[in-house]
Structure 1
């Protein structure tokens, strides 16, 4: 049975739940039961040996855990004499026995079921008189590794996660990134490293600080396995939503990953991978989410640790924490001398330009560009995500840029690369085809400027092209007779006093001389003006759309007149017909 058929068969348990559960709640039962049955099958062949070892070590008064893990030949074990087949033998005590069986698992597995809130679902199923039927249905599904390999099981579980996300699409976007977007990001992340990743036995780490249900980590793992089955990608993540965390951790367990690398909690206030660095990182943090709840901890780290902490360059406004995720990922980059890192992050439009010179957002962009960390930004089509139709952008950052990219940034306008979905899911109406992904990957990989017709789709800029100086233009204060008022004390003594009501600012591109700009753009209009150099600030913004704007001249007036005449002639004819 292929993974689609198997996941459809497992999902058919929903027929039993219909009426007692809302459609959007099916996954709360189906996902944890699938995990339970898989673990049950995986431990089947070593069950007797583990129970015997447990009894021996208990008698000897020795901590049994390392011995049990060795006997189970897994990263988990179960010390209950029960299994799912035995549960079927006592219909009257199914609930109590199921609880006892789950309690027999090692701590990491119990943690998964606790965050699934599985005990609540078991109670609910028991009250509805469905617990025995549901457990029996799963007990009859053979998920033994001899029948369903780790990679197949991973695909089955992902298919179930996707079904769950699609039918509960009011919240899916918070924890679920469309698979084709992840595929594109993974392609962009790995394309420059194909030679390194093709080496036998290569081991690399990947991290997602807002892991959701683990989709980004899974697709990255699949990519590497397809390109080099001998390579190994060790996965790390952190997630704040309990159910998503449980799904992610279960997915990693099913795929043979070390589940201790998936941490529950808030990445900003409680970094679950403190001091760790990673080869690759991927993230789709929630768009425009405020960080008020963790403001105290974040500000404290910014003020007390500075650049030794994660948030040294600056803090964005409290209403949008997107750039905090960016800074967090930068802090997790492996130093360039140790091989460096590359990461991809999905952001909305505001991190490109929000905040003037000197603001937290501008200072973060300044840090990224002045340290030559930004490789590319790709503009995705609108309506790509489940819970929002807004424009989104993939940023690719690296501290080990290839030689030809140094000092440069590539912008790719992929907003026209989409096909309409057969069926909309929430706000998601468009998707990337394999051809679209291949074309965007080619533009990035070849690092080229390109047009489609007259419209540019890939452009390359110097880092400094996004920088500017905000200069303060002062004009003299005048008395009621129009005479210039001179300052009588301080540094400006004897100089014209500035009139704060006439004060203005100008943004001068970094690569342009300030005085030259001032003489050309300001003095011809206000000859008495001067620059207060002490107030000059450096800012950075990336006005993406401006760089891809193509001016289309209006139609000739004669054409418009002809159209209008045609229109009015038609109206007159209609009026004549009515009055006839």
Structure 2
């Protein structure tokens, strides 16, 4: 069964709900029932053996859980004699039986349905006389992994969430990232470690602090399994949205992961994995979302823990918290002496340049660059995400740069690498093809400058190229045509500055400040001087400027000829009207 057929079938359940439920409420029913049927199908083959083992261990008064997990062959089990098919045999008691079936699951699965608030929905469906019909619909569809792969199932969940988000005017893109963008990011964080990852029995950890439905973690696992079936990737995550968390947890259960490593809650205010570091990380934090709700906790950590906490380098403005996730991931990097770490994070354009020298944003960029953590930034095409058409950038950050990358940053302009989608999905109109992903990965892996169609697409810079000093240029306060001189303290005998004439200049870090001042300032204002006490160091990454190609204007003769033609046409039209 293909993904479209499957999601269309599941979506047909909406026909049953129409009238009793608002469209915006469909997801509360369809998502948990889809998860329930998936788990039901996964456990079907081992269910008789699990029930027999459960009874045997009960008779011996032995705690059964470890044995049941082994017999089930999964990281979860169900000890109820019921399943979805058997529920259909007793229409009059469907509600009580469904509750009993749910209570038969192991604790981690019960938690999934609690996050869905599924019991409340069962009660509502029952009162509306719809529970049996809805359950029957789902009992008829085969969601066993042999029929519907984990990858397909992930796509189904994403499509359903997107549809429900559109119906309720929510932001679907907050819940998941386009699969091809994830594949690109996974390629980029793994490519330099291909040799290590190909060793038999290698175990690595990966973490997503904004896990959504688990798409990033799933694709990373698929990548490693494809390249080295004997390698093992232990996944960790945290998610704030209850439904997304429930789906992520269910997905990880089916894949045999330890779901206790998927935490619930706000990553910024309550770190679900304190004192834990990771080999690899991926994240697509919300774009331009304010962090006022968690401001108190974040500022407390910044002020009391400093660099021992996550937010030591600085805090961005409250209107956009994406750079807080950047700092969070940096704090979660496995130390270099333990093998180091690499991560990819999707950010909008704001973190590249927002904030002048001394601001929180600039201080964060300064920390990243002066500690040689930034490997590359890849500019993606617009219209790539479901909830926004703006330009986005993938930052690749590592504390284990290869020798040839040390002290350097690579910028890759992939904004022209895209193909039009057959059908737009929300704001998403473009996608990366497999060829585009391979091209970008190759550019990153080769670490070389490159052009395409006469335009640069890969450039390499020293870290210091993005730094500058903001100097304060003063001019004397004048009275009766003479400079005013200080009479006491530090200013005694010195010319006092005129605040109204004060100005600032940004001097690149690789230029001498005094030489710059003599060359650029003194020829225009000979009486000026620098107040060195006010000098600040700043960092910005003017990505687009580095890929700008000057297009000379058309010759004046061509413009004049075109204007003459336009004037002639207008005069002819006026003549026709007058005639």
Q: Secondary structure at the match of 1:536?
A: strand
User: Which among 140, 156, 160 is matched to residue 159 of structure 1?
Assistant: 156
Q: Give the 5 Å matches for 1:405-554.
A: 405-479=405-479, 481-554=480-553
Deviations 1:510-566 (A, max 9, x none): 000010001001111111111111111111000111111112121111111100111
Return the offset for 1:187: 1.5
Preserved contact between residue 74 and residue 253 of structure 2 (Cα < 8 Å): no
Return the offset for 1:61: 6.1
> Does residue 1:252 correspond to 2:249, yes or no?
no
Preserved contact between residue 42 and residue 254 of structure 2 (Cα < 8 Å): no
> Does residue 1:569 correspond to 2:571, yes or no?
no
> Does residue 1:206 correspond to 2:203, yes or no?
no
Q: Give the 5 Å matches for 1:348-427.
A: 348-427=348-427
> Which residue number corresponds to residue 292 of structure 2?
292
* Count of residue pairs the alignment pairs up: 576
Preserved contact between residue 166 and residue 425 of structure 1 (Cα < 8 Å): no
Which stretch has the larger CA shift, 549-558 or 313-322?
549-558
> Does residue 1:87 correspond to 2:87, yes or no?
yes
Decide whether aligned partners of structure 1 residues 531 and 478 sit closer, same or farther in structure 2, where only a CA change above 3 A counts.
same
Decide whether aligned partners of structure 1 residues 339 and 43 sit closer, same or farther in structure 2, where only a CA change above 3 A counts.
same
Distance in 2 between the 1:67 and 1:423 partners?
A: 49
Which stretch has the larger CA shift, 119-128 or 57-66?
57-66
> Which residue number corresponds to residue 237 of structure 1?
237
> Which residue number corresponds to residue 560 of structure 1?
559
Q: Secondary structure at the match of 2:423?
A: strand
Distance in 1 between the 2:323 and 2:3 partners?
A: 38
Decide whether aligned partners of structure 1 residues 7 and 257 sit closer, same or farther in structure 2, where only a CA change above 3 A counts.
farther
> Which residue number corresponds to residue 279 of structure 1?
279
Which stretch has the larger CA shift, 518-527 or 217-226?
217-226
Return the offset for 1:144: 4.5
Decide whether aligned partners of structure 1 residues 555 and 56 sit closer, same or farther in structure 2, where only a CA change above 3 A counts.
same
Q: Secondary structure at the match of 1:288?
A: coil
Structure 1 stretches lacking a partner, 5+ long: none
Return the offset for 1:21: 4.4
Preserved contact between residue 7 and residue 160 of structure 2 (Cα < 8 Å): no
Q: Secondary structure at the match of 1:542?
A: coil
Q: Secondary structure at the match of 1:535?
A: strand
Return the offset for 1:579: 3.6
Q: Secondary structure at the match of 1:365?
A: helix
Q: Give the 5 Å matches for 1:256-267.
A: 256-267=256-267
TM-score by length of 1: 0.94
Decide whether aligned partners of structure 1 residues 220 and 167 sit closer, same or farther in structure 2, where only a CA change above 3 A counts.
same
Q: Give the 5 Å matches for 1:169-248.
A: 169=166, 170=169, 171-248=171-248
Distance in 1 between the 2:496 and 2:251 partners?
A: 68
Which stretch has the larger CA shift, 435-444 or 305-314?
435-444
Distance in 2 between the 1:464 and 1:40 partners?
A: 57
Preserved contact between residue 58 and residue 64 of structure 1 (Cα < 8 Å): yes
Q: Secondary structure at the match of 2:562?
A: helix
Return the offset for 1:167: 5.4
Return the offset for 1:484: 1.2
Distance in 1 between the 2:322 and 2:144 partners?
A: 42
Distance in 1 between the 2:62 and 2:27 partners?
A: 40
Return the offset for 1:11: 4.5
Return the offset for 1:42: 3.2
Q: Secondary structure at the match of 1:409?
A: strand
Return the offset for 1:119: 1.9
Q: Secondary structure at the match of 1:423?
A: strand
Decide whether aligned partners of structure 1 residues 337 and 331 sit closer, same or farther in structure 2, where only a CA change above 3 A counts.
same
Distance in 2 between the 1:458 and 1:144 partners?
A: 45
Q: CA RMSD in A?
A: 2.1
Deviations 1:103-154 (A, max 9, x none): 2212211111111222233223223322112212322334456x448xx144
Decide whether aligned partners of structure 1 residues 407 and 157 sit closer, same or farther in structure 2, where only a CA change above 3 A counts.
closer
Distance in 2 between the 1:521 and 1:2 partners?
A: 66
Q: Secondary structure at the match of 1:300?
A: helix
Distance in 2 between the 1:453 and 1:154 partners?
A: 36
Which stretch has the larger CA shift, 508-517 or 3-12?
3-12
Deviations 1:47-87 (A, max 9, x none): 45544554565566665433443443432222333222321
Decide whether aligned partners of structure 1 residues 548 and 397 sit closer, same or farther in structure 2, where only a CA change above 3 A counts.
same
Q: Give the 5 Å matches for 1:24-173.
A: 25-51=25-51, 53-54=53-54, 63-144=63-144, 147-148=146-147, 152-166=149-163, 168-169=165-166, 170=169, 171-173=171-173
Distance in 2 between the 1:10 and 1:428 partners?
A: 23
Decide whether aligned partners of structure 1 residues 268 and 238 sit closer, same or farther in structure 2, where only a CA change above 3 A counts.
same
Deviations 1:484-520 (A, max 9, x none): 1111111221111122221111111000001000100
Distance in 2 between the 1:153 and 1:136 partners?
A: 23
Distance in 1 between the 2:559 and 2:85 partners?
A: 79
Q: Secondary structure at the match of 1:236?
A: strand
Decide whether aligned partners of structure 1 residues 335 and 351 sit closer, same or farther in structure 2, where only a CA change above 3 A counts.
same
Decide whether aligned partners of structure 1 residues 428 and 2 sit closer, same or farther in structure 2, where only a CA change above 3 A counts.
closer
Preserved contact between residue 302 and residue 309 of structure 1 (Cα < 8 Å): yes
Distance in 2 between the 1:58 and 1:493 partners?
A: 91
